[in-house]
Amino acid sequence: MISLENKIILITGASSGIGAACARIFAGTGAKLILAARRLERLQQLVETLHVTSLQIHLLQLDVCDRAAVESAISTLPPSWSDIDILINNAGLSRGLDKLHEANFQDWEEMIDTNVKGLLYLTRYIVPGMVSRGRGHVVNLGSIAGHQTYPGGNVYCATKAAVRAISEGLKQDLLGTPVRVTSVDPGMVETEFSDVRFHGDTERAKKVYQGVTPLTPEDIADVIFFCVTRSPHVNINEVVLMPVDQA
């Protein structure tokens, strides 16, 4: 197992769910964390619960869909934060469960811009530094939705199939360098994801978990921790993890 002491880890979507759980697990390792999301106040609340010094945390209020903002955020990181070792491309969302021929264009654009283009922007601006420094690891949050579709899942499933293809493609492109790429593809995880999907309709959101014991954000953070702490010659390409009772 490799040490994460003083490694710089950037987590997108750290204000909630899986991203926040990643912040919690990595905060105990001596790593330096760059926590990114649009809701700065949620990041600040999270930091108050972590047992870390201010030297270990750098917050970025960032909309991953805004390419210029991503470029500026990465290129203006203070020198002591700029050599990112691990990028966790976690920011993502689903909107609606509508039939494709009835769906809302704005929902599609939000999913594609966040889940695909946002992930690409972060990757494009951070991976060159990893290649030139000769070390790095990109972890992309895919989903079981990248492997199978379900009614109304159409565009969300397409974005996660794209994440899977991007992870595999990036791995190919980085052959010959020590930079690693992993796709972590969960089934159902209980987070704010369902509330966001149904635009704050919490009753509808709760029904999603009926009959299933969903994964917790900590289950996913554990797997990510495992992947990034393997010996440098080991690349875990993809992990699919599901609740025992999810089909």
Out of 24, 73, 123, 143, point to the residue binding ligand NDP (CB under 6 A). Answer: 143
Out of 7, 11, 13, 181, name the contact with ligand NDP by CB under 6 A: 13
How many residues sit close enough to ligand NDP to count as binding (CB under 6 A)? 31
Chain positions 146 to 185 lying near ligand NDP, rule: CB under 6 A, are none
Query: Between residues 152 and 178, which has the closer beta carbon with respect to ligand NDP?
Result: 152
Q: Residue 233 CB, nearest distance to ligand NDP (Å)?
A: 28
Q: Are 79 and 58 in contact (CB under 8 A)?
A: no
> Cα separation of 69 and 36, whole Å?
12
Residue 37 in contact with ligand NDP, rule: CB under 6 A: yes
Residues 162 and 145: their CA atoms lie apart, in Å, by 10
Considering the rule CB under 6 A, would residue 140 count as an interface residue with ligand NDP? no
Euclidean distance between CA atoms 214 and 116, whole angstroms = 25
As measured in angstroms, the least distance from the Cβ of 231 to ligand NDP is 26
d(CA 102, CA 100): 5
Residue at token pair 């491309």: 89
Which of 122, 186, 198, 236 binds ligand NDP (CB under 6 A)? It is 186
Q: Tell which one of 29, 114, 167, 182 touches ligand NDP (CB under 6 A).
A: 114
156 as an active site residue: the answer is: yes
Contacts of 203 (CB under 8 A, 6+ apart): none
Distance CA 94, CA 155 (A): 9
x/- map, 74-103, ligand NDP, by CB under 6 A:
----------------xxxx----------
Q: How far is the CB of 36 from ligand NDP (least distance, A)?
A: 6
CA atoms of 91 and 235, how far apart (whole Å): 22
Give CA–CA dist 88/183, Å, rounded: 10
Nearer to ligand NDP, 18 or 84 (CB): 18
Rounded Cα gap, residues 138 and 167, in angstroms? 9
For residue 83, the Cα-to-chain-centroid distance in whole angstroms is 19
Summarize as ranges the residues that interact with ligand NDP (CB under 6 A): 12-13, 15-19, 37-39, 42, 62-65, 90-93, 114, 118, 141, 143, 186, 188-189, 191-193, 196, 217
